[in-house]
Amino acid sequence: MRLCYDGETREPIMATKTPETRAKPINLRIREDVRNLIDRAAKLRGKTRSDFMIDAAYRAAEDTLLDQALVKVDAASYRHYLAILDRPPSGEGFDRLMNAPKPWQK
């Protein structure tokens, strides 16, 4: 068994070892200062260097792929979406936000 991470919650889950799920090595050459920085951050998180790097790379890969998501809609839905975006902001929440004290004005 090895520890894997759920794609949605990023919670650890157990997986059986199969040829498809067996961990495979990745070799990296990095400067010493970068390795030291990673080690410090990993220690703060209570993780090994490898686990920290895997988690960071996994999140970066997910974010990159999610940024490339294509949503297809019919023409009427797209026009409706554009119309909503073109409306000026309004409502109680917007008014409250605009009247809230600004941290830089204190």
Give residue limits of the domains in the chain.
2-67, 75-101
Where does the chain have alpha helices with state H? 32-45, 49-67, 75-86, 92-99
Residue 86 is predicted with a pLDDT of 96
Q: How far apart are CA 55 and CA 35, in angstroms?
A: 15
> In the chain, pLDDT over 90 holds for what percent of residues?
60
Identify the DSSP state of 5: E
Unique residue bearing structure tokens 């799920």:
21
What tokens does 25 get? 């090595």
For position 23, what pLDDT does the model report? 86
**φ/ψ of residue 38, rounded to 5:** -60, -45
75 pLDDT band, cuts 50/70/90, is: very high
Report the alpha-carbon distance of residue 86 to residue 2 in Å, rounded.
Answer: 50
Q: How far is 64 from 92, CA to CA, in rounded Å? A: 35
Q: Provide the pLDDT for residue 1.
A: 43
Please list, residue by residue across 40-68, b when 16 or more beta carbons sit within 10 angstroms of its beta carbon and e when fewer do: eebeeeeeeeeebbeeeeeeeeeeeeeee
Q: Give pLDDT tens digits for 4-42.
A: 665 556 666 655 566 677 889 999 999 999 999 999 999
